């Protein structure tokens, strides 16, 4: 999500508003601008009358339409470079005065580069996400492999954002976590997992423009059993966005999220399960080229007195579970990221040095997965990759799972600038 100059914003806070297609009509610059002309008519009786000459109809170029699957770059759909705004939310209660404060506008500008440049980059990434997400909801169906799903989303993202090195591209690996697995699963090469009719699928993918990472996720089911679980995480996210803003304490936002989440329950086979917020997952701040910026918005009430501040950018995300409400690392790792300021470690393997150069060139500090290394032409890199992890240069992010047999859901918005 992006924040506009005033108040707090939640870009496309609901799927209903997010998935409304834009009207991308590019009109011709040489449209007939000729106005109405006065024509003097002199009839026989000597009276002078004026007649209006009809306008010629304006000529329009054919509007550029998105393809299906989406492959038309966004700059072709929005040639003027102005991308749709997200949903704007006004400050409330004791914070309402910020809406008209010139001082606070100035502070915001000092806290970041030109806000309009920043917002437009985020809006561009958000519109890419919206269009790809809309298509993903249509094409994802039981019977598809996880690899088909992930690569279908990534192909659309790369095309629409017009991938260009570290200037624009995928923000982080496409998560397609299933059932009790809440996050950080994407298929590695050779993965044979297939989506089933009864699965609960979390789709989490990112887009970045000039390092401004657009982070958003949604959950899909194909039967009604877990509809209330999905409803719970969406309502909890909406609550978190509504309560967020400059000077708000992160622990207070967490308490509001928990209260909303725990007001839901799910009935499965005649047994009722309370929906629990996953206590050791969280939303987070986002810095340029850094997906986890240092501040966390937990999902259960706590005493964290840290405040949101001017110019900060957050992912407000929630995870709900029918299980224990706590995740552990489990399964084959696929997600990695080079740390922002890596230590000056002595690398024993030439292959590790070579792999690090490739990571720096292709991803920098952006998260990546093993499939992305394959795509970059790397091979037989696991030993080198594990060595980089052991030396603290690369951080690994294994899948995060609740108790087997439980179901988890995730929902969050594009990011939130304050």
Structure tokens at 325: 């409400």
d(CA 172, CA 367): 5
123 and 148: one domain? Answer: yes
Residue 62 covered by a domain: no
154 and 269: one domain? Answer: yes
Structure tokens at 162: 């017009």
Residue 7 has pLDDT above 60, yes or no: no
Q: How many domains does the chain have?
A: 2
81-125, pLDDT tens digit by residue? Answer: 999 987 766 666 666 655 566 666 556 555 555 666 788 899 999
Non-local CB neighbours of 210 within 8 Å, separated by 6+ positions? 121, 167, 168, 288
82 and 98: one domain? Answer: yes
First to last CA, the chain: 10
Residue 34 covered by a domain: no
Task: Find out whether 317 is annotated in a ligand binding site.
Answer: yes
**Cis, bond preceding 69 (omega within 30 deg of 0):** yes
Backbone angles phi, psi at 118, to 5 degrees: -60, -50
356 and 241: one domain? Answer: no
376 and 235: one domain? Answer: no
234 and 318: one domain? Answer: yes
Whole-model pTM?
Answer: 0.80
Backbone angles phi, psi at 265, to 5 degrees: -145, 160
Q: What is the distance, to the nearest Å, from the Cα of residue 270 to the centroid of all Cα atoms in its chain?
A: 36
Q: What is the mean pLDDT of residues 295-313?
A: 94
The whole-number pLDDT of residue 21 equals: 40
Residue 36 covered by a domain: no
352 and 299: one domain? Answer: no
Structure tokens at 26: 């590019």
**Alpha-helical regions (H) of 140-177:** 146-161
Task: Find out whether 215 is annotated in a ligand binding site.
Answer: yes
Q: What is the mean pLDDT of residues 203-232?
A: 96
The whole-number pLDDT of residue 94 equals: 61
Is 250 in contact with 237 (CB distance < 8 Å)?
A: no
Domain of residue 251, CATH code:
3.90.230.10
The whole-number pLDDT of residue 358 equals: 98
Non-local CB neighbours of 24 within 8 Å, separated by 6+ positions? 63, 64, 65, 66, 77, 78
388 and 248: one domain? Answer: no
Residue 240 has pLDDT above 90, yes or no: yes
321 and 342: one domain? Answer: no
184 and 284: one domain? Answer: yes
Non-local CB neighbours of 117 within 8 Å, separated by 6+ positions? none
Residue 408 covered by a domain: yes
Residue 97 covered by a domain: yes
Residue 68 covered by a domain: no
The whole-number pLDDT of residue 118 equals: 82
Task: Find out whether 184 is annotated in a ligand binding site.
Answer: yes
Residue 133's domain comprises: 8-21+78-332+403-417
Maximum Cα interatomic distance, the chain, rounded to a whole number of Å: 105
**Local confidence band at 412 (pLDDT 50, 70, 90 cut-offs):** confident
DSSP single-letter state for residue 307: B
261 and 276: one domain? Answer: yes
134 and 159: one domain? Answer: yes
**Alpha-helical regions (H) of 168-303:** 227-243, 250-261
Q: CA nearest 66: which of 55, 58, 57, 75? A: 75
Task: Find out whether 414 is annotated in a ligand binding site.
Answer: no
Strand 201-209 to 271-274 pairing: unpaired
Task: Find out whether 204 is annotated in a ligand binding site.
Answer: yes
**Local confidence band at 26 (pLDDT 50, 70, 90 cut-offs):** very low
Structure tokens at 171: 């923000």
The whole-number pLDDT of residue 1 equals: 36
Residue 368 covered by a domain: yes
Domain of residue 346, CATH code:
1.10.10.10
Residue 35 covered by a domain: no
The whole-number pLDDT of residue 311 equals: 81
């Amino acid at each position: 999500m992006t924040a506009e100059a005033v108040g707090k914003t939640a870009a496309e806070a609901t799927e209903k508003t997010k998935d409304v297609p834009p009207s991308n009509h590019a009109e011709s610059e040489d449209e007939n601008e000729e106005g109405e002309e006065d024509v003097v008519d002199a009839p026989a009786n000597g009276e002078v009358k004026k007649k209006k000459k009809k306008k010629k109809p304006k000529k329009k170029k054919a509007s550029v339409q998105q393809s299906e699957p989406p492959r038309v770059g966004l700059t072709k759909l929005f040639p003027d470079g102005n991308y749709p705004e997200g949903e704007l939310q006004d400050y409330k209660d004791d914070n309402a005065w910020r809406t008209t404060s010139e001082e606070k506008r100035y502070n915001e500008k000092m806290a970041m580069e030109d806000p309009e440049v920043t917002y437009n980059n985020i809006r561009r990434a958000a519109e890419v996400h919206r269009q790809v997400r809309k298509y993903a909801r249509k094409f994802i169906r039981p019977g598809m492999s996880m690899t088909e799903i992930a690569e279908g989303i990534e192909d659309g993202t790369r095309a629409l954002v017009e991938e260009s090195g570290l200037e624009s591209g995928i923000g982080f690996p496409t998560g397609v976590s299933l059932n009790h697995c809440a996050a950080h699963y994407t298929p590695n090469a050779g993965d044979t997992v297939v989506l089933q009719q009864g699965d609960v699928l979390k789709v989490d993918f990112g887009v970045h423009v000039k390092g401004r990472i657009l982070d958003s996720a949604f959950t899909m089911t194909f039967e009604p059993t877990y509809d209330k679980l999905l409803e719970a995480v969406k309502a909890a996210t909406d609550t978190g966005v509504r309560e967020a803003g400059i000077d708000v304490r992160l622990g207070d936002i967490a308490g509001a999220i928990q209260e909303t989440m725990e007001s839901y329950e799910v009935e499965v086979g005649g047994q009722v399960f309370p929906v629990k917020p996953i206590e050791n997952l969280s939303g987070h701040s986002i810095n340029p080229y850094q997906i986890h910026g240092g501040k966390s918005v937990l999902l259960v009430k706590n005493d964290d007195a840290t405040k949101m501040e001017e110019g900060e950018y957050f992912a407000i995300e929630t995870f709900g579970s029918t299980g224990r409400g706590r995740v552990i690392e489990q399964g084959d790792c696929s997600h990695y990221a080079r740390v922002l300021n890596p230590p000056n470690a002595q690398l024993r393997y030439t292959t590790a040095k070579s792999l690090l150069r490739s990571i720096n060139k292709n991803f920098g500090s952006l998260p990546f997965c093993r499939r992305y290394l394959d795509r970059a032409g790397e091979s037989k890199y696991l030993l080198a990759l594990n060595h980089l992890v052991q030396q603290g240069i690369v951080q690994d992010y294994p899948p995060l799972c609740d108790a087997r047999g439980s179901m988890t859901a995730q929902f969050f918005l594009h990011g939130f600038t304050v």
